[in-house]
Each structure stands twice: as C-alpha cells, then as structure tokens.
C-alpha cells in the first residue's frame, strides 16, 4: 500500500475556550488520548477541526502542538486544501516546515471545477510537494463530484497521491474506484456509518468523527472484518450505528464537541460562528443516544 496512515484516522476537533480562542492544553490532551485509543493517525484542521474559521497562524500552531503531544504514537495529517490552487500552494509551503506526515486536500469548493480542472488542481499540488497527499471528495460540501476516472488518472500519475477520502454514499463509485485505480491506492470511508458496507467492496479504513469516542471499537470492527470475523464486525457496526448517525443530526462538529466536553476530554463545547452550540433539548437528545450504546 502507498499509505501508511493505518485504518483509523480521526478527523480531530479544535478545542476552544469560552471566548472562542483555541484551547491548546485541551488540544494536546485530546490528541494524546486519541493516539492511545485506536487512532493510527490524526487529521488536524479538517472540516471537523473548523478549518474555515481558523487563521493560518492558528493552523500552524495546532499542527505543531498535536505533533508534540502524540510524539510519534500516531501519524499527523494536516488539512491544507482550499478553493484556490495558488492559496493552497502558498499555505502548503508553510505547512511543510512543520513536517507533517501527510496532507489532506479537498476538491475545490464553491468554484465547482470541471474534472479537467480537478486534475490540474491536484497535479499542481502534487508536483510541488513530496508529502503524501490524501485527496478528499465530498460533493455535499463542494458542490461537485470527483469521478473515479479522475481519481484514477491522478493516482496513476503521482506516487505521492496515496489515498482518497470518499464522503459520498454512492457504493457503485467505490466499485469503480477499486476497478480503475492502482492496486496499492488506498480508499478511506469518510462516513462512519458507511465504513463497514464500503469495506465489503474494498475500502481500507475510515477517516472518522466517532473515533473521538469509540476509537478502539471502530478499530476492532475493521480488524474483525479483515480477519474474517464478519459477524463480530457487523455486530459492532450495529451497536455503534445510532451514534454514527446522531453525530451528524446537527452541523459537525457541534455534536461531537458536546460529547467530548461531557466526557471532560475537552473543557468546553465552544464552536466558532457561524456554528453554534447545541440547544439544551438537542444536547439531551444526543446524550440519550450516546448513553444507550451498550458495549
């Protein structure tokens, strides 16, 4: 395999204090907890990390802090993608100084580029860095879908394009990706609830939100599937399925931050506008589902 990021990558939240400042103490505490509880790699400054509202200097400090906290116990991946190729390249230059283990680059959002435009965008980035790149396809946020043929062209052309995070519920696309892409190209589910179904047709692991709270259980589900313990894997999926879905009943990362604060893994559930904290009724609804998970 091209990717050595493992089976469970946690898309990590960015803890904040009551004033909305990054809480670096909680950040390091949480990163260490994740590295010790099922996360092979930690993705910082992705959507779950509220990247759209973080400054470039905050992102660099977050990367540095998480690398220090995990101290080699987990790989650290940095979200660097934007809807500007030039802007992505300039930020990537700064990120490279911190020596992350890899970068996540989303399909450009809002501009809605063509497939040719996507190829040019990712090619420009891959040509300018030696860091391993995970491409990120999430049509619900970008407004455009990167097709399997496009992924295959890029995976064939660039050895440092090592993986794809696929956040799209189209199972046929997974089959097409497996048929068209190089055998060593890694595909991650970008949706916790689809990890096991997608693994049945070749997905290698997950870039997860639920692993903040159930990292060891998700790792067990994946390992059991790969070793032929299908019933055990399915049972774990079904146990966790309610929380997989409930973590997205409000905008991400509002629900997961609420649970992490409740578990005292971070100090507050604070998010930056335009996101807002859950209402008391929403919090009670979420906690009811979380507390019903029988493990």
Find the angle CA(105)-CA(253)-CA(92) to the nearest 5 degrees. Answer: 25
- Measured between alpha carbons, how far is 163 from 198 in angstroms, rounded to an integer? 15
Q: How far apart are the first and last CA of the chain?
A: 32
Q: Indicate which residue of 136, 188, 257, 283 is catalytic.
A: 136
The count of C-alpha atoms lying within 13 angstroms of the C-alpha of 290, restricted to the half-sphere facing its C-beta, is 21
**132 neighbors 2 (Cβ within 8 angstroms):** yes
**184 neighbors 1 (Cβ within 8 angstroms):** yes
- Measured between alpha carbons, how far is 255 from 134 in angstroms, rounded to an integer? 26
Torsion over CA: 184, 167, 275, 256 (sign): negative
Greatest CA span in the chain, whole angstroms?
51
Q: Indicate which residue of 165, 246, 257, 283 is catalytic.
A: 165
Residue 246 falls in the annotated catalytic set? no
- Measured between alpha carbons, how far is 217 from 76 in angstroms, rounded to an integer? 21
Residue 165 falls in the annotated catalytic set? yes
Torsion over CA: 185, 155, 115, 118 (sign): positive
- Measured between alpha carbons, how far is 8 from 194 in angstroms, rounded to an integer? 14
Residues identified as active-site: 136, 165
């Amino acid at each position: 395999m091209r990717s050595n990021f493992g089976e469970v990558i946690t898309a990590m939240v960015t803890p904040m204090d009551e004033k909305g400042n990054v809480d670096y103490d909680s950040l390091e505490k949480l990163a260490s907890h994740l590295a010790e509880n099922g996360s092979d790699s930690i993705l910082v400054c992705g959507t779950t990390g509220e990247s759209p509202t973080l400054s470039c200097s905050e992102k660099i400090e977050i990367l540095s802090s998480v690398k220090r906290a995990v101290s080699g116990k987990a790989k650290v991946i940095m979200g660097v993608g934007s809807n500007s190729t030039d802007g992505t390249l300039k930020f990537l230059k700064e990120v490279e100084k911190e020596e992350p283990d890899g970068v996540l680059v989303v399909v450009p959002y809002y501009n809605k580029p063509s497939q040719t435009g996507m190829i040019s965008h990712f090619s420009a980035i891959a040509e300018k860095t030696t860091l391993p790149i995970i491409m990120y396809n999430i049509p619900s946020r970008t407004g455009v879908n990167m097709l399997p043929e496009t992924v295959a062209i890029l995976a064939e052309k660039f050895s440092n394009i090592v993986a794809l995070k696929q956040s799209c519920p189209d199972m046929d696309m997974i089959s097409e990706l497996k048929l068209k892409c190089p055998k060593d190209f890694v595909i991650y589910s970008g949706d916790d609830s689809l990890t096991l179904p997608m693994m049945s047709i070749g997905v290698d692991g997950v870039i997860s939100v639920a692993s903040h709270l159930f990292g060891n259980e998700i790792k067990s589900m994946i390992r059991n599937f790969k070793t032929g313990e299908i019933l055990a894997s399915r049972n774990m999926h079904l146990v966790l399925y309610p929380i997989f879905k409930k973590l997205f009943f409000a905008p991400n990362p509002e629900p997961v931050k609420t649970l992490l604060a409740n578990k005292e893994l971070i100090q507050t559930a604070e998010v930056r506008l335009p996101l807002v904290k859950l209402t008391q009724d929403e919090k009670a609804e979420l906690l009811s589902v979380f507390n019903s998970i029988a493990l």
